Structure 1
Amino acid sequence: MAGGLVLFAAALHVATREVLVLAAVGIAASTIDDGVIDLIYLSIWLRRRALRMRSVPAANLPPGSSWMAIMVPAWDEAAVIAPMLRSLTTRLDYPKYRVFVGVYPNDPATLAAVRSVVDYRISPVICTRPGSTTKADCLNHIWRAVIAHEAEASIRFKAIVFHDAEDVVDRHELRVFDNLIPGLAMVQLPVIPLVDPGSRWISGHYLDEFAESHGKDIIVRGAIGAAVPSAGVACAIDRDVLAMIAGVTGTPFDPACMTEDYELGMKVAALGHRGALVRIPGFAGGRTVATHEHFPATFETAVKQKTRWLLGIALSGWDRIGWQGGLADRYMLLRDRKSIVTPLLTIFGYVAVAIVLVDAEVSMVVPAALRFDPLVAAQSPLAALLWLNTIALGWRLGLRASFTAATHGWREGLRAVPEQSSAMRSMRLPRRARCGATHASALGTKVRRGTRRHISSPCPPSDANHDGAPDASLARMRVAAAVVGDVPRPGDAVRLRRGGRGGGRRRKHGDRVDMDASAMDRGGKADRGSTSARIDASASSSLSKIRREREDAACSRQ
């Protein structure tokens, strides 16, 4: 009996070491990959600090003179679409635009809400098929309505802007788009989730996720020349480029696609055009021009949304996109699809820790086990890997907290650390189980039904009162200094403003030059205050309550 226990303890000890090695190697590989992105971003940040580069505030840009078309797909949005449209038309500081809202024939409440906003700039577009369909299908209907409006009104839109029914639009966004397009084929502004006081641990993790993604990851993608994916909102694309994507079929979006926004950026790059995430302050020293919106506040709705993202980007995207582009594009595609494996490595790491604890307990029961070699020798490669992973974990948590604090204030930054190990991680396993089942069932289908996001009506951040007319001398600059990682053509010249000196120097570019100081400042000094301080607390609380009630009702129906 004693011999059997010793044999069992020895076998468990060996197995524990092997599991620990596999977990440490897998996590270290993912850590090195993340470290590469961090180092690239750090080099960009240091370079910009050294050059003291500053971007032109959006308020100082020349006023727009080109037509803009805004697309808003809406299914079952009767409670939120009217406030969103009123907020949008009130806030936008731009003279020439039209808003096209896609609705469905079996959703009369949403259609009535759209028509209740009496504004000649708003046009409802009724889809031919009953809802819900995919968002891509609705956008195709809106696109055809945009083309028909051009012919009827004898105008031509310069760019197509995408928004959702819960978006809180920045007043300067169309002016930024007008100045950057067609120099860029696609312009993505940052998306900032709104704080939901009633769902700190579920909706709160979206704050952390978008703060780092739109503050670092997407910036690095553009800086190394990889395709920049669209976020689906706060995004504008050159009208002619979208027409090229539409081709002879007249449908720029595949109705079977679940993440049409992600693929849009890939299609733009495949045609040889550039897209970029742009961070530019609205006013000098002001907050970044961005779109604010609500995100799911309940566990089930968050899992459903994350499942759609993972399925569309990592699994379905693998089938649809493949490995197109150059080395930088393929590396970023690999990172996008790494999201399938990374949570499994995390779970495997937890399993390894549990087995180590069991091994320690067995060694206390079986005295002979105390004479076994230690699981981790002091100077072994495994010890080095474990130290690397531990240090990297602290670095990653600190980095996520710093980006979150820069956008939402230090309290949200501190909350980002436990959120990383609670809400976000707790939904990874169920969403991957859903992904596997959904992907397997979808392989033989042609059209996938859309998964609707249930949100509350927009609660806009207040705008500070700023005076000052646009500087006419900036008209020639075309806000070139607002693009992160811009790659001027050989021979182009860009004036670099030296902070605090008012002067500049002119230099030639044959290589990449990073031009947006506000991007490296992660939103500028004004953004280091709490975004939630700019939101009306009572209204936000009541709207969040409405949203949670809608989510609960939707989940019970499903």
Structure 2
Amino acid sequence: MVASVGLIGPVLSFLEAARLELLLFAGFWFVIGALDELAIDLCWLWLKLTGRLRRRKLAAAAPRELSAPIALFVPAWREARVIAPMLRHALAAWPHRDLRIYAGCYINDPDTRAAMEDAGGGDPRLSIVVNETPGPTTKGDCLNRCFRAMAQDEAREGFRFRAVLLHDAEDLVHPEALSLIDAELAHADFVQIPVRPETNGDSHWVAGHYCDEFTDAHAREMVVRARLGVGIPAAGVGCAFDREAMDRIARRRGGSGPFDPTALTEDYELGMLIGRAGPDGKGGSFARVRAADGSLIATRAYFPHTLDTAIRQKARWVQGIAFDGWEQLGWSRSPLEFWMRLRDRRGPLVALVLAAAYALIALTLVLRLAEWAGLHAPARLPPLVYWVMIFTTACFVWRAVVRFVLVGREYGWNEGLAAVLRIPVANVIAIISARRALGRYIGTLLGRAKVWDKTEHDRHPADKIGGRGR
């Protein structure tokens, strides 16, 4: 018993030393991260104060015809539950004659194919593309199959599409999005419109954090990136690529198609390749515009509502963007482009720093309890550490205020407050998904094949609006 008591002092001293090391490690990276976010915030505020981010709003008008044909690709694997309302709503919301939808499915997925056929209702603008390779392969492979089907139609009918638009089976398109994208393509090779996740009453915390993160990114960071002229990452939905630009990428890949069939985030990669202006192209555009009724012209969808499914999805994003993106896209000599790629690939480091911060909180609680019990006298921290803590705390409060304002403006002030309370939930998901992404990436280095680790969808936003509303 005496020996046990005698061990308490050395153990607490070790914990105190560990706490200081974690403080220095987490504090350093928190300062770097805070300065990174502040730089984006300052750019955003400067653009708003100088009037360069005027709120764009479309006048009410009847749907006009497209300036040139556009192809919409909708890849699907086991999406029989949601593909029918998606296609039915898209065909009704976008009556444009020059739109053609290529819905990709697999030979071993008859339910999804049947749902597609039912949704089409004989509309000649819908083409169902069956991948003869049993699924799931990868999303990039399915998209390349749609691309080849489109090219065959072009050769047979003697015309060329102007652009390719991407959407997923769970998406609800905005009625005015196609006309907006068509107009933006006049001066851009790549166009991205915002993503607006649907709130889910069954999962206020997990599903809700997608609302917070997409709103923050698509109301602030993406508009800054577009103004800076750097690469804009494609979200995989509500994004359109110029046909000629896609041909250039396809030739670089050896003619198999513009999408990388081995990538987990083939949309992000294509957006980064096309979306930065260069000698061969016009660059990208992020179009954040309001309709005449005040609604944001955006893609709506339900996102994962359980912890496991959210972790699986985000692990795929981290692996594809942070690990595979580093390997396949490399870096850039442009300082601004290099900065943005660092931001895109910071997920694993952020997760490590957050894990260190939560360990630091736990250690601090243990040491405070020991101090309260009279077993330990805490060491005085260096003054620099206190200043770091003050600076990072102030920056956290500022970020929370910005998120509250952005989310509250879009979803209501109750959701804005919830967005602040959901920050720890988002942090936990980020930590676990980064660990999982690292394990999966190591597995691919050891020869494990990449497959379509898709998110399961059990509802569609069109369900609650009869399939035809906004």
TM superposition score normalised by structure 2: 0.91
How many angstroms apart in 2 are the aligned matches of 1:196 and 1:87? 20
Q: Tell me how large the CA RMSD over aligned residues is.
A: 2.4
Q: What residue is the counterpart of 1:180 in the other structure? A: 184
Q: Per the alignment, do residues 77 and 8 of structure 1 end up closer, same or farther by CA in structure 2, a change over 3 Å counting?
A: closer
Per-residue deviation, residues 428-466 of structure 1 (Å, max 9, x unmatched): 3332222122101112448511112111343249xxxxx
Q: What residue is the counterpart of 1:194 in the other structure? A: 198
Q: Does residue 34 in structure 1 map to residue 11 in structure 2? A: no
Q: Per the alignment, do residues 292 and 358 of structure 1 end up closer, same or farther by CA in structure 2, a change over 3 Å counting?
A: same
Q: What residue is the counterpart of 1:76 in the other structure? A: 78
How do 1:39-54 residues align onto structure 2 when only pairs under 5 Å count? 39-48=42-51, 53=54
Contact 1:162 1:236 in 2 (8 A): yes
The structure 1 residue matched to 2:318, chosen from 302, 310, 316, is 310
Q: Does residue 281 in structure 1 map to residue 290 in structure 2? A: yes
Contact 1:67 1:158 in 2 (8 A): yes
Q: Per the alignment, do residues 299 and 54 of structure 1 end up closer, same or farther by CA in structure 2, a change over 3 Å counting?
A: closer
How many angstroms apart in 2 are the aligned matches of 1:309 and 1:251? 22
Contact 2:81 2:457 in 1 (8 A): no
Contact 1:163 1:233 in 2 (8 A): yes
Q: Does residue 130 in structure 1 map to residue 134 in structure 2? A: yes
Name the SS for the 2:108 alignment partner.
coil
Contact 1:194 1:295 in 2 (8 A): yes
How many angstroms apart in 1 are the aligned matches of 2:407 and 2:134? 40
How many angstroms apart in 1 are the aligned matches of 2:147 and 2:94? 22
Amino acid at match of 1:249: G
How do 1:333-482 residues align onto structure 2 when only pairs under 5 Å count? 333-366=341-374, 369-370=376-377, 373-375=379-381, 380-422=383-425, 424-445=426-447, 447-460=449-462
The structure 2 residue matched to 1:252, chosen from 248, 251, 258, is 258
Name the SS for the 1:226 alignment partner.
coil
Q: Per the alignment, do residues 244 and 299 of structure 1 end up closer, same or farther by CA in structure 2, a change over 3 Å counting?
A: same
Name the SS for the 2:267 alignment partner.
helix
Contact 1:58 1:281 in 2 (8 A): no
How many angstroms apart in 1 are the aligned matches of 2:55 and 2:34? 32
Deviation at 1:230, TM superposition (A): 0.6
Q: Does residue 120 in structure 1 map to residue 124 in structure 2? A: yes
Identity %: 33
Q: What residue is the counterpart of 1:219 in the other structure? A: 223
How do 1:463-502 residues align onto structure 2 when only pairs under 5 Å count? none
Deviation at 1:328, TM superposition (A): 1.0
Per-residue deviation, residues 320-379 of structure 1 (Å, max 9, x unmatched): 111135111111111111111112212211222222233333334557x54x65236xxx
Deviation at 1:132, TM superposition (A): 0.6
Contact 2:351 2:434 in 1 (8 A): no
How many angstroms apart in 2 are the aligned matches of 1:73 and 1:385? 48
How do 1:319-338 residues align onto structure 2 when only pairs under 5 Å count? 319-324=327-332, 326-338=334-346
Name the SS for the 2:285 alignment partner.
strand
Q: Per the alignment, do residues 459 and 17 of structure 1 end up closer, same or farther by CA in structure 2, a change over 3 Å counting?
A: closer
Aligned length: 456
Amino acid at match of 1:172: E
Deviation at 1:149, TM superposition (A): 0.9
Q: What residue is the counterpart of 1:239 in the other structure? A: 243
Q: Which runs of 4+ in 1 moved over 6 A?
A: 1-4
TM superposition score normalised by structure 1: 0.77
Contact 1:255 1:447 in 2 (8 A): no
How many angstroms apart in 2 are the aligned matches of 1:362 and 1:55? 58
Q: Per the alignment, do residues 92 and 356 of structure 1 end up closer, same or farther by CA in structure 2, a change over 3 Å counting?
A: same
Contact 2:277 2:284 in 1 (8 A): no
Q: Per the alignment, do residues 10 and 157 of structure 1 end up closer, same or farther by CA in structure 2, a change over 3 Å counting?
A: closer
Q: Per the alignment, do residues 200 and 364 of structure 1 end up closer, same or farther by CA in structure 2, a change over 3 Å counting?
A: closer
Q: Per the alignment, do residues 86 and 18 of structure 1 end up closer, same or farther by CA in structure 2, a change over 3 Å counting?
A: closer
How many angstroms apart in 2 are the aligned matches of 1:270 and 1:35? 23
Q: What residue is the counterpart of 2:58 in the other structure? A: 57
Deviation at 1:318, TM superposition (A): 1.0
Amino acid at match of 2:209: H
